[in-house]
Each structure stands twice: as structure tokens, then as C-alpha cells.
A = this chain, B = another copy of it.
Amino acid sequence: MSVVPTTAASAGPVLVIGSGLLGASIGLGLRHLGVEVVLRDSSPTTEAVAQDIGAGRSERAALAAGAVLPEPALVVVAAPPDVVAELVVRALTEHPDAVVLDIASVKAPVLDAVRAAGADLTRYVGTHPMAGREKSGPVAARGELFTSMPWVISPGEDTGAAAIAAARNLAVDLGATVTVMEPREHDETVALISHLPQVMSSLLASRLQDTPLHHLSLAGQGLRDTTRIAGSDPGLWVQILAANAQPVLDSLHAVRADLERLIATLERPGADGARLDIARLMAEGNAGRARIPGKHGGAPTAFATLTVAVDDTPGQIARLLTEIGEIGVNLEDMRLEHSPGQPVGLVTASVEPSRHADLVEELQTRGWKVVQ
């Protein structure tokens, strides 16, 4: 592997504990910048694979070869949530001059456990890179995994400035966007924007277990979108939900109250006020949805959509997007829909409202089937 001279703000050497998807991706990204990385994992195989893909130097292999390893300036704990606090405490003791950070997706319980162990809190900082992953393990690692993704830094009251700076440098070096947030605020935020959607998606998808397949063949994009994350790894989510139980419960209690209200209303759908009750629930959903920022920070409702029917062949979608580019319109968002067994796909594109009418007309002139 070719190593370019370091251009990273992160000073090496860096010890990465845990060489799964995220740990190995951090190692890869730092190696690309020329930073020295040592890898440690409880599984010798995982550690060796991570070294093989270029994420750093295996600590086991180096020690077996009699090498003297450098003292790390930064320790990144990228292990499963249920062992993170223990590994952070151990790293703070073993490396008394290093900054130690973790990347677990729940922050307050880790800080509480590290404090309870009497460790040096000035050198510890919790962080949470919000990078998507549908696969796990070092083979799936990519140095660019964090590109343009948010990376939350959650210092505690005792965290020192040097620790915060080290965390910030790491996130920026890996291309992420830094947000600073107090640990409990972080946990409440992810309970709402990440853990609650996961629970709702799983509760919904769970209802499909006994549905005949010919009924499910009628499913549209709505069901696909709302259940996509229900395919997530149960093992990981058990740890996340158990670690963040109270903030998740706060949201679930509110959902239960709304659900009880809706059930009571639907049990007497002809009663006075029943329709107003249903409308209110739907309108509250509208209001919440409208608050989620879109691509450039605008609300999602700020864009106009159009749907084009295209043949299901390799070049067709590319040709459509090429022509949209030729027309000079920027795509704000797009999705591909499909019906089982049909040779036609539907591409829905979101564009600036001011360009919508022109684009529809121009595409139709060029022979595209604009269906909506």
C-alpha cells in the first residue's frame, strides 16, 4: 500500500480497539492520510483481516514478531456498545498520556460508567459518527465511510480541551461534519431520530409475518420505505435500545398515548368528533414530517416532484438523468420504484419548484413518459 505524507490534523500514532466495520474504516481513512495506526481486536481473525485490507498494523502480529509498538497519542474504542466503557477505562489506565475516545451510539451511560470507575475524565471524550451501515465486519470497511456524515462530539463536564480537539481533528480528517452536543442531549436526540424510527419500523414489519405473499405483492413504495430499516441487525439493536432505554421509553409512552386515542376513535368511527380526531392525528404527522430538513437544509416540502416511467434496462435511467442534466436542472433527490414482474421502472425526481414545469415539458418533448 502506498502511503502519502501525512496531511492529517490527527497526530499519530492511533490505537484502534475493535476492528469491525467502523474501527477498520477509521483505520483505513487514517492510513490514507499517512497516520500510523495499530489495530487491536478480541478476535485474532478480525484483527488480521483488518490489517490485510490496509487499516493498520495488527498489534498481535507485531508483538509476535518482537516489534516494539509506539505509545499511542489517541486511542479510538470502536468495540460493541456493551464492552465500550470497560475498554475506555482500561485504555485510560494503560496509556496515561493518550486521549481516549469511543464511538458508541449512546453516550451518557458510557460517561457514567467511566466516571464510576474513577478514571481520568479529562482525557476521555465520547463521540458518535452517524454513518450508515448495512453490512458489518472489516471486509465491508471503507476509508470514505464518514464522508459528509454527521459526527457528534459529546464532551462531559470534565473533558479537557485537548481531548475535544483530538476528537474534532479525527472527525474532520475523515471528512465528517462535526456537531457538539452534551451526552444526555445526544441520547435524547438519537432516541427520537434513530431509535424510535427503528422500533416503529420493526413493530410494523412484524405484522407482515403471517401475511400471504400474494397480498404483499400489492405493496407499494410506502410499505417498502416504512419497513426498510426493520431489516437491521437485532444483535446490535438490543445493545442500543437497552443502553438508551429511558429516552426511548419517553418517546414510546407518547406514541402509546396517541395510539390509544386513535384506537378509541376507530372503535366508534361514526361518533361525533371521530373524523376530527383522525384528521388531527394525520395533521400532527404532517407537521412533524415538515420539520425534517432536506438536502440543502430546506424543508422537504420545498421541492417539486415528477415521476417518469422508464424501461427496465441498464442504460435507461442513466439516459434520463443525462437529459435532466442537459436541460440544466439539478436533482434534489430521486428514487426508483418498481412493480414486481413489470418491465417498467418509475423514477421519481425532486427538483426546485421553479424548474418543475419546464422540466416536465422538455422531457415530454424528448419523448419521456412523465406519469405524474
Contacts and interface: CB of A to CB of B under 8 A. Distances in A.
A331 B189 CA distance: 35
A285 interface: yes
Contacts of A235: 279
A295 B340 contact: yes
Given A177-B341, A263-B249, A231 B290 contact: yes
A110 B193 CA distance: 40
Interface stretch (A41-49, A116-124, A155-163, A236-244): A236-244
A223 B197 contact: yes
Interface string A251-284: 1111110111011001101100011001101111
Given A130-B220, A341-B177, A291 B208 contact: yes
A331 B314 contact: yes
Contacts of A252: 259, 262-263, 266
A7 B232 CA distance: 48
Nearest to A199: B262
Contact of A282 (B234, B249, B267, B321): B234
A315 interface: yes
A90 interface: no
A50 interface: no
A289 B208 contact: yes
A206 B288 contact: yes
Nearest to A307: B132
A222 interface: yes
Give the interface residue-count category, chain A: 35 or more
Given A205-B288, A279-B234, A305-B134, A245 B216 contact: no
Nearest to A276: B238
Nearest to A211: B192
B207 A254 contact: yes
Q: Specify how many copies of this chain sit in the oligomer.
A: 2
A255 B259 contact: yes
Nearest to A339: B148
Contact of A203 (B200, B232, B290): B200
Contact of A288 (B220, B227, B232, B243): B227
A152 interface: yes
A169 interface: no
Interface string A311-329: 0111101111110110011
A196 interface: yes
B226 A197 contact: yes
Nearest to A338: B295
A230 B289 contact: yes
A215 interface: yes
Interface in A69-84: none
A337 to B, nearest CB: 8
A295 B341 CA distance: 7
B245 A269 contact: yes
A291 B213 contact: yes
A257 to B, nearest CB: 10
A188 to B, nearest CB: 8
Give the 8 A-B CB pairs with smallest separation, nearest first. Answer: A202-B285, A318-B321, A208-B288, A234-B282, A205-B288, A230-B285, A144-B371, A314-B325
Given A189-B211, A237-B278, A249-B266, 20 more contacts: A132-B337, A134-B372, A142-B372, A193-B208, A193-B211, A193-B219, A202-B281, A202-B285, A203-B262, A205-B288, A206-B281, A206-B284, A206-B285, A223-B292, A230-B285, A235-B279, A238-B278, A245-B266, A259-B259, A314-B324
